[in-house]
Structure 1
């Protein structure tokens, strides 16, 4: 997942305060002085919570003054004094925002969340002051209308076009009361999306299953029990503690024989922010979708989905819905057969009533084990985190010639975070890569890639390199073993690292067009294509080494991984499609919604339903991707990018999965180009053709 920060700013841009090394007064705010660190990375070791708000206020004032200078410039508006000047305006503010909101996702606390609630409306107001400025828009429009008078190259033309379009899509054409209403909506949405995410995190952290009877651990692998025991010990309690963090929740649902405890865990997870209390998100969901609809209507669109998709490869809600339906039609028969297989197995092995959602992962794992003589737990001894990390880095070296060197002098925001310098094949510095692997109370769930700084070139032509961060929630080390990854966690690592490559290998002029600043339904291509190496024997054997003996993962076990790769691929496809359909339903509304969130959700996901409904559960109340992140009317993009990545990887399969020429073409035509061209143009330049569904359906085994 590519994480889009929850703040509004002029552009997603990096700030380098100064390239000069200088001594500063220790009483000065470290966010407002030169970053005297390797590569001018954020000085996390010096930043205190109380530094943020003064820094925001100072940087906001400076940013406003920089915008005012552009507006008050009496010279004829040109690309240089208007578009380029805007590109570099507010750099200090963007840097502080990037640091702060990334920390709010990865290492937050009550104080940071309070600052986020206070500062988000301030940033939204600043953003609105830019996009709604008639004087500034007149200058931009003048440059746009006279663009043929200047000798602009392709990237300059793209930046100009994007800037002009951004104004029109952010309210510049509104007037009077509509413009003021747009301001109110934007501010309210910034508050609501922030509150949604805070509620989900609080709900996730609030639940702990404390087990004191060892018989209740029946079925759980020893490594899972050890991790639970270590957590209980850390909290000075006897027994074992399980949480809703994925490294704890997922294996519990897969392996725990105690059905009642599985149900308790499932209910805790599926009812998050749906308890009609102060952390309930249902009213927030209604407010968000209604405000998004109202904003879209103000801008001349029938729905929020129509507004969003104007700037996506898919273009229209109708095209997205047809795409989702086509994949559902192909996937559903397989999914139904797969669920029936599990039901039949469960009934034959002691289940005395209807198969419920808290049963499915448990019995699926048993079916998988019998069918393939394989479980993910069998692979964990061979996927020690440190060795997987090296294997992923080595893959990047093989494909792109880049290398990684840990630098402990680069400050990090938590002791568990590591920082690497990245170099190209000629030992030229490319980027800083932060990796943050383990769950914490202050970290949101899931896995994502983000930036502390974008790649771009200064007006003097200096290539400023990016600071990329990969944030995951992998299984922690225990007292008896290092961190051992499941096979799915290995795939997650590859996925996020693919996003990281998109950022690290960027070679653009403008930060607004660099790295992952691309259409949302294109941004998952670099991440998802890298997952394909995770089902290739040659790569798996290079990375899979037993953590005790150093033995290479046996061919027999790799064959089982590959043979089981498409296990329940129909079910997995339908599950993912259900999320996309839920998202599209919420954001295709063209009338104000005031009904039941639970009932609406049930109706939107009905075509994909494979199980009995569970009273009290609500997916939407914790659907952070669309209500606290940047995937609103865009969750379909994961499946869209699967079509792209399957088609793209078929070329690697044809030429050789480590073929350097194919890798160079992918780097030159896609990874390095960012958003400098339309995504389909970039894709065709690499692949030689537009993609079709065929490769994905074939890879997934969804062709009868």
Structure 2
């Protein structure tokens, strides 16, 4: 998943996250303090001396204490006021775009950093201060989004044909993106309606935060309601049992059923919050001139509009239908085999029985694989792949006191063989109390060409939830954890190599349905034996992971894969309906029931409301389809460009030149066309996804 460039702040002035440096900045010298990446992750972090230099978070001096967020915020707001005055007094020309980008950067440098700190810092005071900074910067952005005089300075530039024709394509696109941000915020409205748009945006921000909090809260139930023999599976608090998740991997059918019904039991406040959020989004979209929120959200994406998304999902669902039904029949047979008294397949069965089928057919016990995937070995594997494909090396760098929020965080320098230091990745990989469990990527500082000719280096955070090393073994990853690591590193490389001139479009600051392509493409590399064989070694014996184990693992993922994909189609379809025509004539739960039974196929469970746990409705509102469309593009790129040789340097350079280098500074479909040398259709997207389901090996065992 991509965070940081998915937060709910509005789009204008770069705060909703969106340049190749002209002439290129000077090459940065290599530091002698860097050390090999693998060893840094398999060894304990060196303790810093009390005499070491002390700094603030991410080496930002003000952030050595929570109160520093107020200082950083005040500086950003003061700088933004000066830049607004400068923009309003500057005649039409490329300098206007630079000033707008400086304004975007001034606000994002605080907002992006605070967006990460508010969920990840272990100190509540830091989290609270970061939350307040996010709120204040967001409020300022809403005001700037509807600042008529500021917009006029940009409008004068866009209206001057002579000047516009003299701009390079990237500068022209960034200018148009800034204007688009104004327009979707209602700049064209009268003063009263502009104020209403600002108020709606602020309310939407608050509702998003409220809904997100509610998606993670556990539910409680009187423990006497449940049979005594399953109570031990849940946390006990006095006379109550606390259910904090679905227990999807539990072999006991009754435990999974109980967890599903309790965890997804409707909460009136959360339901009200969601329905107000959807209604507010729709009101905002219609206020600024769109039919629905989905039309507003999808402008500028690969899909371009909700009609294309619906066509894509319907065609994919049609292609999956027969395969999905066979998958459900296989799961039902397995359930009957293991539990003859209760044979009906239910939603809480899908993840469990598909896993049982995979394990039975291919013997893919994660415990057999973990010894070959030490974290250090996996990091060396990534280092080797990036070196061969892109000429990039990763080096561990010692952090200063106060620079990181946990002693477990590692800092990586990303270095190109010719261009030098490209940026930094902070790796927050290990479990700790109260840390979010979702794997994600955050942009903390975007890259851009500064006024002094130097390039502002990008800074990102990758967050995983890996186990700690023990006295007897380093951190060992399951195959799924290894794949997630590769996925998040794909986002990080996009951030490092999207070296655009403008911060507004740097790295992953591009349309959502393109932003996931580089990360999903990395999953294909993670599942290729030629790549895995370069690093997968038993941490004790040094024995390489046998090829047949990798083959079994890859083939196992295709067992019930159609049903898994159908579930994603259901999520995406539901997201489209929620953000489509309003007012909704039925409750969100009624819509869920209808859509689930029509698109997914397994029955809705009475007195459950799964949508109230669907956190992606916040960050991916109307854009959840992006995972499927991005996977289709990644599949096409893999098969056409890398399947014959995953280490092809010429193809790696083409990948960087055509897809990674532009960030959001080029239309996404043009980047895809440049890489594939053709313009893919909706049918091409569907065919790419369905072809991935086909079995490739004779080792597949048919159902008997």
Which bin holds the TM-score, normalised by the shorter protein?
A: 0.7 to 0.9
Kindly indicate whether residue 491 of structure 2 is the aligned counterpart of residue 499 of structure 1. yes
Q: Is residue 699 of structure 1 aligned with residue 698 of structure 2?
A: no
Provide the secondary structure at the position in 2 that maps to 1:313.
coil
1:600, CA displacement in angstroms?
A: 2.0
Residue 147 of structure 1: how far off its partner (Å): 3.9
8 Å CA contact 1:652, 1:658 repeated in 2: no
Aligned counterpart for 1:332 among listed residues 315, 318, 321: 321
Q: Once the 2 structures are TM-superposed, how far is the Cα of residue 217 of structure 1 from its aligned partner?
A: 12
Q: Which residue of 1 aligns with 2:204?
A: 189
Give TM-score, length-normalised by structure 2: 0.84
After superposition, the C-alpha distances for 1:509-549 in whole angstroms (9 at most, x for unaligned) are: 11112111111111111111111012211122223222332
Rounded to whole Å, the distance in 2 between the matches of 1:612 and 1:159 is 47
1:507, 1:39 → 2: CA distance?
Answer: 26
Q: Verify: 1:49 aligned to 2:43, yes or no.
A: no
Q: Does 1:459 align with 2:451?
A: yes
Distance 2:658 2:501 in 1: 15
2:673 is matched with: 684
CA distance in structure 2 between the aligned counterparts of 1:375 and 1:176, rounded to whole angstroms:
63
> Partner of 1:358: helix, strand, or coil?
coil
- Does residue 408 (structure 1) correspond to residue 398 (structure 2)? The answer is yes
Alignment of 1:155-174 (within 5 A): 155-174=170-189
Corresponding residue for residue 567 of structure 2: 575
* Gap change, CA 1:669 and 1:38, over 3 Å in 2: farther
Q: Which runs of 5+ in 1 are unaligned?
A: 20-35, 221-227
1:247-299 deviation digits (Å, cap 9, x = unpaired): xx7xx633x3333333344445544xx433xxx42111111111110011011
Deviations for 1:94-140, whole angstroms, at most 9, x for unmatched residues?
22222211111323665455446644443333112222112122211
1:145 to 2:159 alignment: yes
Partner of 1:103: 117
Using structure 1 for the length normalisation, give the TM-score: 0.84
Query: Are residue 611 (structure 1) and residue 602 (structure 2) matched?
Result: yes
Separation of aligned partners in 1, 2:609 and 2:148: 43
Q: Offset of 1:477 from its aligned partner?
A: 4.3
d(CA) in 2 for partners of 1:642 and 1:306? Answer: 22
Structure 1: distance between partners of 2:488 and 2:262? 27
Counterpart selection for 1:549 from 533, 541, 566: 541
Shift of 1:39: 13
1:358 aligned to 2:353?
no
> Which residue of structure 2 aligns with residue 223 of structure 1?
none
Indicate the residue corresponding to 2:87 in structure 1: 70
Structure 1 residue 359, shift from structure 2 partner = 3.2
Number of matched residues?
645
State the secondary structure of the residue aligned to 1:543.
coil
Say if 1:45 and 1:413, in contact at 8 Å, map to a contact too. Answer: no
* 1:598 paired residue among 589, 599, 605: 589
Q: Report the more deviating stretch, 300-309 or 111-120.
A: 111-120
Shift of 1:474: 3.1
Return closer, same or farther for 1:570/1:588 CA change in 2, 3 Å cut-off: same
How far apart, in 1, do the equivalents of 2:263 and 2:407 lie? 29
Q: SS at 2:119's partner residue?
A: helix
Which deviates the most, 116-125 or 384-393?
116-125
**Alignment partner, residue 638 of structure 1:** 627
Asked if 1:666 corresponds to 2:660, the answer is: no
The unaligned stretches of length 5 or more in structure 2 are 19-27, 29-52, 697-704
Residue 24 of structure 1 corresponds to none
Cα contact 1:332–1:608 (8 A) shared by 2? no
- SS at structure 2 position matched to 1:442: coil
> Within 1, Cα distance between the matches of 2:613 and 2:663?
31
Alignment of 1:362-441 (within 5 A): 362-410=352-400, 411-426=403-418, 428-441=420-433
User: Matches of 2:8 and 2:468 in 1, distance apart?
Assistant: 28
The alpha-carbon distance between structure 1 residues 640 and 413, as it changes in their structure 2 partners (threshold 3 A), is: same
Identify if the C-alpha distance between structure 1 residues 89 and 427 changes in structure 2 by more than 3 Å, giving closer, same or farther.
closer
**Residues 1:479 and 1:350: Cα distance change in structure 2 (over 3 Å):** farther
- State how 1:465-480 maps to structure 2 within 5 Å: 465-477=457-469
The aligned counterpart of 1:261 is: 255
> Equivalent residue of 1:542, what SS?
coil
Deviation of the 1:352 alpha carbon: 0.9
**Cα distance in 2, alignment partners of residues 45 and 392 from structure 1:** 34
**Counterpart Cα distance in 2 of 1:461 and 1:369:** 56
Q: Is the 8 A contact 2:285 2:296 kept in 1?
A: yes
SS at match of 1:404: strand
Match among 285, 289, 303 for residue 292 of structure 2:
303
The answer to whether the 8 Å contact 1:655/1:662 transfers is no
Q: Which shifted more, 45-54 or 459-468?
A: 45-54
Distance 1:318 1:367 in 2: 37
Please give the root-mean-square deviation of Cα atoms over the aligned residues, in Å. 3.3
Residue range with higher mean Cα deviation, 478-487 or 514-523: 478-487
- What secondary structure does 1:7 align onto? coil
Is the CA contact 1:566–1:700 (under 8 Å) kept in the aligned structure 2? yes
Asked if 1 retains the 8 angstrom alpha-carbon contact of 2:264 and 2:612, the reply is no
**Following TM superposition, by how much is the alpha carbon of 1:242 offset from its aligned partner in structure 2, in angstroms?**
11
SS of match in other structure, 1:357: coil
The equivalences for 1:57-96 within 5 A come to 57-71=74-88, 73=89, 76-80=91-95, 82-89=96-103, 91-96=105-110
| Contact kept in structure 1, 2:57 and 2:63, CA below 8 Å | no
User: CA separation in 1, counterparts of 2:471 and 2:257?
Assistant: 29
Q: Aligned to 2:192, what secondary structure does the other structure show?
A: helix
Q: For residue 29 of structure 1, what is the aligned residue in structure 2?
A: none
* Deviation at residue 452 of structure 1 after TM alignment: 1.2
Greater length-normalized contact order (CA 8 Å, ≥ 6 residues apart)? 2
Give the 3 Å change call, closer, same or farther, for CA 340–594 of structure 1 in structure 2: same
Bigger shift: residues 179-188 or 536-545: 536-545
Partners of 1:636 and 1:44 in 2: how far apart? Answer: 41
Is the 8 Å Cα contact of residues 346 and 363 (structure 1) preserved in structure 2? yes
Q: Distance in 2 between matches of 1:217 and 1:407?
A: 47
Contact 2:279 2:583 in 1 (8 A): yes
- Any conservation in 2 of the 1:570–1:702 contact (CA below 8 Å)? no
Structure 1 pair 458–62 and aligned structure 2 pair: CA distance change class (3 A): closer
**Aligned mates of 1:344, 1:432 — CA distance in 2:** 50
SS of the equivalent of 2:466 reads: coil
Give the Å deviation of 1:654: 5.4
Distance 1:68 1:595, change over 3 A: farther
CA distance in structure 1 between the aligned counterparts of 2:229 and 2:604, rounded to whole angstroms: 30
